[in-house]
Structure 1
Amino acid sequence: MRSKLETVIAPFEREGYRRAEPAILQPVEPFLDLSGEDIRRRIFLTQDDDGREWCLRPEYTIPVALAHIAAHASEPASYAYAGPVFRMRANEPNEFAQAGLESFGRSDFAAADAEIMALTVESAAALGLSRPRLLMGDVALLTALLDRLGVPQAARRRLMRAVAQGKGADAVAALEPPLNEVEHAHAGLLKALEGQDPKAARAFVEDVLSIAGISTVGGRSAGDIAERFLARAAERDNPVNGEASGVIAHALAIAGDPDGASTAWRKLAGEAGLDLAAALDAFDERTGFLAARGVDVAAISFSAGFARNLDYYTGFIFELHDPARPDLKPIAGGGRYDGVLQRLGAPAAVPAVGASLWLDRLAGGKA
C-alpha cells in the first residue's frame, strides 16, 4: 500500500506540491459546517473529557486548509497528501486510502484548474487507468446565469439542491416556492414584509418574535428566522417567471464536450439577451489550458446539470470514472472552492482548487 500511495502522489510532488500530513483525529465542527448532509451522516465521532467532539479524518481538504491557515500563509501554496480516511460507505470499506492535492492562493484560475485536473488524470494513469471517463461541470457558469436572471437566493438554493440531486433540467421545478403549514400560518407577516427595506424588515420580524417570547427555533436564532422570512417575502415580491425558468431549463440541458457546450451556452445567452461573456471566456480559457496540459478535451463530457457538493464548490468541478466499474462511483473528483478558507477562519477569501483520488476504487477494491 505504501508504494501505491507514493506512486499516486509522485506526479504532484514533481510539480512542486509539498507533502501535508494532517492528524487523523480532527475537530468535528468544520466538517459539519462545510461538507454537506451526505458526510454528516457518515463520519466517525468521539468526545474528549471536556465534552468536545472530534472525528476520524473523513477527508483531507479541510484539515490541509486549516493547517495552511494556522501557518499564517499569505503566499500561494500547493500541497499533496496520501493516507487513510474514515467514512461510513455502503458496500465499501469504512477505512480507505485517499490521495490528492490542493492549491491555495493562485490568481491564474484557469491555469490552476487545468493543472489540478491534468495531474489527477496523470496520477490515475500511474495506477493503470489510462482512459478514464471524464465528467465536468461549472458552478460559476450556472451562478452567473442565475445572477443575470435575478433569481432570488431562496429559489437559487432550492435549485442548486435539486441539481445536486441529479435532477438535471427537471430541477427548475424547485424554483417554485413550497408553501408549508408554517407559512400559511404566517401569511399575514409575509405580506407585511413585501417591499420593505431589508434592515427595517429584519428589525420588525425580530420584534415580533421577541414579543412572542421566541428566541430560538430548532437551533436557529431570531435573526436566522428573520432572514428566512425575508427570503420568502423577497420571492413573493420577485417570483421567477416562466421565461427565466425556461432559460434555466435550457441551460441545464446543455451537455457535450467543452467546446460544443461553450458554443451552446453562447447561443443561449445571445437569444436570452444575457451577458455571460466573462464567465464563458473563463470557461474557454480553462479548456485551452487543459489542452495545453495534454488532456484530451474532446473526451471530456461537460454537463451544466452535473454537480458535486454545491455547499462546497464555487466554480469548475470534475470527476474521473473507471468505465469498467459497474457501480458508476467516481474514482477521483475535485474542483474550485474559493469560499472555504475564509469560512474556516482565513481573514479574506482565498482562491482554492483541489482533487482527491479514492485508491480502493482505483485498485478495483484491493487497495
Structure 2
Amino acid sequence: MTQQGQAAMQALIALFEREGYTRVEPAVMQPADVFIELSGEDIRRRLFVTEGYDGEKLCLRPEYTIPVCRDHIAQHNGHPANYSYLGPVFRQRIGESGEFLQAGIESLGRKDITAADAEILALALDGLTMLGLEATEITFSDMGVLAAIIDALKVAPSAKRRILRAVVSGTDISALSTPEAVGLDEHAGLLNAIDGLDPKAARAMVEDLLSIAGIDSIGGRTPGDIAARFLSRAAAHSDIPDEAIKVLEVYQGISGDPDQAALKLRNLAETFRLDLSKAIDTFEERTGFMAARGINIGKCKFSAKFARNLDYYSGFIFEIFDLNRKEHKPVVGGGRYDGLVQHLGAKEAIPAVGCSFWLDRLPGNLS
C-alpha cells in the first residue's frame, strides 16, 4: 500500500474511533461451521477452508461481522459496545482478488434502533467522503418490513424460511408458487419434525440422526455439511398459499425514495388488511433520523427486491455505489442483524447493526 493509502486508512479508523468505535482485530483463522451455518449460500461456496490439527474445520476470515460478534460475547458478556476494524478478508471472487482489505464498524447493544441505523449509514457516507468519493447512490430495503408481512400472512415457519431464502438469493417470488420437486417425500416425517425449529436446532437434529446412523462422511462431506444441504433442499418442500404469493409480488414491486416507499407500504397494508403499523412506523422513524444526520433522502432508493447475500440480516439493509464505477458493485454494504449475537451464544438477543467498506473498489484502489 502507498503512503497515501496508509494515511487514508489511518484517517478512516481515526474517524470511527472519534465516534466511539474501538478498533479490534479478530483472529484470521475462524471456525468454518459458523459461516457455513449462518452466512448466505453465496458466501458459503466461496470460503477458503482448511483443517486444524485436531480435525476442526477452519476457514480464513471471509468477513468481520461474525468474528467481531464472537469476540464481543467472549469479552463483554453482552454489554453494549461499538467496534471498528481494518484488515484482510478472504473469499473467492470472480474477477477480483480472493484477499482484500475491508474496514468497517459494528454497533452492538444499542436500543435506539432507528437512530443507530441512521448513524451507521451517516458514518459510511462520511468515511467515503473522507476517502474522496462523493458521487454515490444508496440502495436500501428493510428485512423487518418483509418479516412483518410474512408474519401477518400467517404462513408456516418452513414457508417463511423459504421466502426469506428466496429473497436473499435474488429468486423471483413468483417462482415460489409451487414447491420444488426435490425428491424428499420419503422424508416427510423428518420434514414435519424440523418444521418450526430454528435453523440451528434443525441442523443439530439432522446431525444427531446422521451420527446415530454411523455416517461420518459421504463423498467427503461431514455430517454438518450433509445437514446444511438437507435443510437447504427441505426448505423448498413447503407450500406457500397463492394469496401470500400475490401479496409478496405486490410488495416486491415497491420502490422509490423513503417517503414514497412508506406511502406505498401503507397502501399495501390497507389493500390486503395487514397490520404492518409497527414495522412502517419504524421505517418512517428511521427516515427522520437519516434526515437529521444530514443524509440526502433523495439519494436513497428503497427497493423491496433488494437484499444482501447474508442470511442473518433482520432489519435495515443498504449498499452504497460509486456512480462513476462501471461495474455495479457496492463500495459499502451493511445492515441490522439483531438475532445473530444470540445465535452465536449470547444469553439473549442483542440489537446490532454495522457496515463494511470494500477498499479495493474505491478510487485509487486504497488496498
Normalised by the length of structure 2, the TM-score is: 0.84
Deviations 1:147-206 (A, max 9, x none): 001122222222223222334xx31321422244331x567x69xx79xx99xxxxxxx9
- Rounded to whole Å, the distance in 2 between the matches of 1:334 and 1:232 is 27
1:5 corresponds to which letter in structure 2? M
- Rounded to whole Å, the distance in 2 between the matches of 1:315 and 1:136 is 10
Structure 1 residues 302, 179: CA separation in 2 closer, same or farther (over 3 Å shift)? same
* Aligned-partner SS, 2:93: coil
Alignment partner, residue 83 of structure 2: 79
Deviations 1:119-161 (A, max 9, x none): 0111011111112110001001001001001122222222223
- Rounded to whole Å, the distance in 2 between the matches of 1:57 and 1:143 is 29
1:329 corresponds to which letter in structure 2? K
- In the alignment of these two chains, the number of paired residues is 346
Q: More displaced, 30-39 or 282-291?
A: 30-39
Q: Does 1:142 align with 2:173?
A: no
Structure 1 residues 243, 54: CA separation in 2 closer, same or farther (over 3 Å shift)? closer
Deviation at 1:331, TM superposition (A): 0.6
Deviations 1:9-35 (A, max 9, x none): 332111111111222222323222222
Deviation at 1:90, TM superposition (A): 1.2
Structure 1 residues 295, 127: CA separation in 2 closer, same or farther (over 3 Å shift)? same
2:355 corresponds to which letter in structure 1? A
Structure 1 residues 50, 127: CA separation in 2 closer, same or farther (over 3 Å shift)? same
1:93 corresponds to which letter in structure 2? S
- Rounded to whole Å, the distance in 2 between the matches of 1:366 and 1:227 is 40
- Rounded to whole Å, the distance in 2 between the matches of 1:227 and 1:86 is 26
- Pairing of 1:27-106 with structure 2 (within 5 A): 27-106=31-110
- Rounded to whole Å, the distance in 1 between the matches of 2:241 and 2:98 is 46
* Aligned-partner SS, 1:181: coil
Give yes or no for contact 2:184–2:234 (8 Å, CA) kept in 1: no
Give yes or no for contact 1:161–1:310 (8 Å, CA) kept in 2: no
Q: Does 1:160 align with 2:164?
A: yes
- Rounded to whole Å, the distance in 1 between the matches of 2:292 and 2:229 is 49
Deviation at 1:215, TM superposition (A): 7.7
Q: More displaced, 114-123 or 223-232?
A: 223-232
1:174 to 173, 176, 180: 176
Alignment partner, residue 200 of structure 2: none
- Rounded to whole Å, the distance in 1 between the matches of 2:36 and 2:87 is 21
Identical counterparts, % of pairs: 48
Give yes or no for contact 1:141–1:280 (8 Å, CA) kept in 2: yes
Alignment partner, residue 277 of structure 2: 277
Deviations 1:19-53 (A, max 9, x none): 11222222323222222222222222333322223
Alignment partner, residue 18 of structure 1: 22
Q: Unaligned 5+ residue runs, structure 1?
A: 199-205
Q: Unaligned 5+ residue runs, structure 2?
A: 198-204
* Aligned-partner SS, 1:363: coil
Alignment partner, residue 300 of structure 1: 300
Structure 1 residues 229, 46: CA separation in 2 closer, same or farther (over 3 Å shift)? closer
Normalised by the length of structure 1, the TM-score is: 0.84
Structure 1 residues 273, 67: CA separation in 2 closer, same or farther (over 3 Å shift)? same
- Rounded to whole Å, the distance in 2 between the matches of 1:327 and 1:231 is 33
* Aligned-partner SS, 2:95: coil
Q: Would you identify which runs of 4 or more consecutive aligned residues in structure 1 move more than 4 Å?
A: 213-218, 223-233
- Rounded to whole Å, the distance in 1 between the matches of 2:229 and 2:124 is 42
Alignment partner, residue 329 of structure 2: 329
Choose 1 or 2 for highest CA Rg: 1
* Aligned-partner SS, 2:58: strand
- Pairing of 1:193-232 with structure 2 (within 5 A): 219=223
Structure 1 residues 109, 175: CA separation in 2 closer, same or farther (over 3 Å shift)? farther
* Aligned-partner SS, 2:59: strand
Give yes or no for contact 2:43–2:309 (8 Å, CA) kept in 1: no
Structure 1 residues 179, 47: CA separation in 2 closer, same or farther (over 3 Å shift)? closer
- Rounded to whole Å, the distance in 2 between the matches of 1:88 and 1:358 is 14
* Aligned-partner SS, 2:330: coil
RMSD (CA atoms): 3.3
- Rounded to whole Å, the distance in 2 between the matches of 1:228 and 1:93 is 29
* Aligned-partner SS, 1:97: strand
* Aligned-partner SS, 1:331: strand
1:107 to 111, 119, 138: 111
- Rounded to whole Å, the distance in 2 between the matches of 1:339 and 1:100 is 20
Give yes or no for contact 1:158–1:175 (8 Å, CA) kept in 2: no
- Rounded to whole Å, the distance in 2 between the matches of 1:158 and 1:105 is 29
